[in-house]
Structure 1
């Protein structure tokens, strides 16, 4: 049975503090459906250590575990899949390395044409964003919410990212997003668990 590609999709903050990272993710894990490990550090040993710990945590909570950018790290940690951006490995190469059952997501930014190409290449889901101004990526182009209705015919689950919090989550879900990818709206909050509960409830109300 294919994995559920909807609901609350947490994306980790980029940090070298593994204890804090694991604590924060453990707090939100009961409320999320997907976790993406994102860390741009050059320290490969640190990233492997963190990813292995997060993969184990996700397995215990029944959360889908995705690695950002790094196909080999996904293989090493037994991740469910990988998320690729415009400068990462080709989707076709990732599919060959990870296999037919792997979840492979593709960042499509504000481009319907990029989404179409990703689906044709075998993407498991497509992601649009930033849907709102984002403190994590302040220079990101804004993706209009109308993209979700336009992309529905492509037939792939759609993820929204960028500036999403409990206050605007309903708007994004009504526009057609299947999953809400959230970084700051969870991990920059004083109480990540409470923020996760609110966002998860918004997803439930929308049938996600």
Structure 2
């Protein structure tokens, strides 16, 4: 996976925004570099409603040339011919998904050295390391780990694509990048932003004052 694609990695489902498609398009216009559909939680979409929403997200991503990743749902990813899938430690094994979906992006959430090593050896295209800071977007998130493991992972795997996740915002994104991440993965900071363009510029290292 192109490490530049992890620069500003947006994750969202219908529960994260009152107008999710509008939020996604604003984020795409503001130059997010990757999008992951993560539809989880009580009241989330299922079945045909989920597929319809996913296709609408995918269409927007294609229009802006941004990779469309599906979280966890292997069958949906295959049905839509999504650009890739992101799995956790409890999800489908990387090797099994790779066997069913050639040339697709596979991302894996890792939390320690053992999981990192397994993800790399199993053929993951990138890893998400976190939660770096406390997060409100995942009720089942592990305790925040800070940047120590991120720094160690970058030292051990200097060229492997890594994105930081968990509680990242405009104020701490620079620390995540300087600790070794190729980019930052965020949910609420974009979904709740009153100025998505400015937020994304700040997350990507800009000061929010540039004109496009």
**TM-score, normalising length: structure 2:** 0.86
- Residue of structure 1 in register with 2:11 after alignment: 11
Stretch deviating more after TM superposition (53-62 or 130-139):
130-139
Regions of 4+ moved over 3 Å:
2-5
Q: Are positions 1:167 and 2:171 aligned together?
A: yes
Stretch deviating more after TM superposition (136-145 or 178-187):
136-145
Q: 1:44 aligns with which of 44, 47, 63?
A: 47
- Residue of structure 2 in register with 1:198 after alignment: 202
- Residue of structure 2 in register with 1:29 after alignment: 28
- Residue of structure 2 in register with 1:135 after alignment: 136
CA-based RMSD: 2.0
Alpha-carbon displacement from aligned partner over 1:63-121 (angstroms, at most 9, x marks no partner): 1110000111111222110000122111111111111x21100000x312101101100
Stretch deviating more after TM superposition (60-69 or 191-200):
191-200
Q: Are positions 1:82 and 2:85 aligned together?
A: yes
Take 1:9 and 1:114, find their aligned partners in 2: how far apart are those partners?
A: 21
Take 1:137 and 1:21, find their aligned partners in 2: how far apart are those partners?
A: 18
Take 2:50 and 2:145, find their aligned partners in 1: how far apart are those partners?
A: 30
The answer for unaligned runs of 5 or more in structure 2 is 208-212
Cα offset for 1:146? 2.1
- Residue of structure 2 in register with 1:54 after alignment: 57
The answer for unaligned runs of 5 or more in structure 1 is 204-208
**TM-score, normalising length: structure 1:** 0.88
How many residue pairs match? The answer is: 199
Q: Are positions 1:70 and 2:78 aligned together?
A: no
Tell me, yes or no, if the aligned pair for 1:10 and 1:183 is still in contact at 8 Å.
Answer: yes
Tell me, yes or no, if the aligned pair for 1:5 and 1:125 is still in contact at 8 Å.
Answer: no
Tell me, yes or no, if the aligned pair for 1:52 and 1:77 is still in contact at 8 Å.
Answer: yes
Alpha-carbon displacement from aligned partner over 1:97-148 (angstroms, at most 9, x marks no partner): 111x21100000x312101101100000011111011111255222231222
Tell me, yes or no, if the aligned pair for 1:35 and 1:58 is still in contact at 8 Å.
Answer: yes
